[in-house]
Amino acid sequence: MGLTYPEDLAAWHRWQRSTHRLRQLKAALRPSRPAPMVLTTYGRRPRVLIAVDSSSPTSVSALLEPARHFDFDFAVLAAGQVPAASREPSNVETVDPETPVGRMEPATSTVLALGSYLPVGARAYLLAQRSGARFLVAQHGLMTPLAPPLPGDAHLLAWSAGDAAYWWSGRPGTSTVVGSQLLWDAGSSPALEVDPAASPVYLGQLHGAELPRRRMAAAAEAFCRQHDAAYRPHPSEVDRLSRWQHRRWERKGVRIDRSGRSLRDLDAPVVSVFSTGVLEAAARGVPAWVDYPQPPAWLREFWQRYDLRPYGAEPTPPPLRPAVEPAVAVADVLRSHL
């Protein structure tokens, strides 16, 4: 199995828009200019440009953690203020998204991004094409069929050889397996003593488009009620429909975890459908499982690819730990491309 849209980014964008029709309608009724980007330069002659579309923990882990190991100057182009780096910036300026590419971005030889499917990554990819810079894509999460396609001339920094093959989906492309800094950090955290028989925490994924929302909600409710699990909303579950769903569950006796605790602070077993949090918990030694009634073929394959164990079986084993810290490995790859 592989991606639904292995090389057609325009088709992937059409699918994305189809899943957010209400958002698209509001945007059409109240059009606004694209938000400005922030270009932060570290050093006088940046040789690497990092494109940051999101300040989520997974993005920061994949894109900015490697900068701690840079011995060369670099720059960060971000959608908003970039999280603090390991050194003081030499310059910070605002970039108008409508400014021609190359007018303000630094002359770099290498670009690091999550892909070319979001505004900052798309701008950085266009810059790489026009300047001849190498475009490197860092994997930041688990791979599902609806992941966006890779640019054909990208070099992929993958978590595993299996993920690289899945993301390229039969296309010719180059890759380097570096591992996951997110899972490395999880495995480096002190393990908590957790009773496998304790009431689990269910990691919500109502925002996920891979499965029908109604079925996701039904699966979550059934599991929580049957196993006295607390439902932990995903940080993206702040829209009106999600808040309504949470209140409805509470009226039916489902506990909603509104503590805001990070995954690393959870002191209970973890269950989800296909959340990266299951592997994060397993890396910390916390009992973790997956659950979904009558999983489709792609989800069964997904569970097998990441060795995720169904609830009721032995807990998911910790992911293999690479010999070199992934952030160091990414920095080494970037250095080799300079």
In a domain, 239, yes or no: yes
Tell which residue, 183, 187, 172, has the closest CA to residue 141: 183
CA distance 102 to 142: 33
Q: Is 157 in the same domain as 78?
A: yes
Q: Is 165 in the same domain as 205?
A: no
Q: Is 135 in the same domain as 218?
A: no
Please report which confidence band the pLDDT of residue 27 belongs to, taking 50, 70 and 90 as the band edges. Answer: very low
CA distance 101 to 130: 9
Output the pTM of the full model: 0.92
Domain that holds residue 124: 9-179+325-337
Q: Is 169 in the same domain as 230?
A: no
- Which residues face 201 on adjacent strands? 230, 270
Which tens digits make up the pLDDT trace of 99-125?
777 666 777 899 999 999 999 999 999
Which tens digits make up the pLDDT trace of 110-164?
999 999 999 999 999 999 999 899 999 999 999 999 999 999 999 999 999 999 9
Kind and range of the H or E run holding 241: helix 240-251
Which tens digits make up the pLDDT trace of 44-87?
899 999 999 998 889 999 999 999 999 999 999 999 877 666 78
The tally of domains found in the chain comes to 2
Q: Is 91 in the same domain as 153?
A: yes
In a domain, 261, yes or no: yes
CA distance 103 to 110: 17
Is 30's pLDDT higher than 80? no
Q: Is 19 in the same domain as 45?
A: yes
pLDDT, residue 321, reads 95
pLDDT, residue 286, reads 94
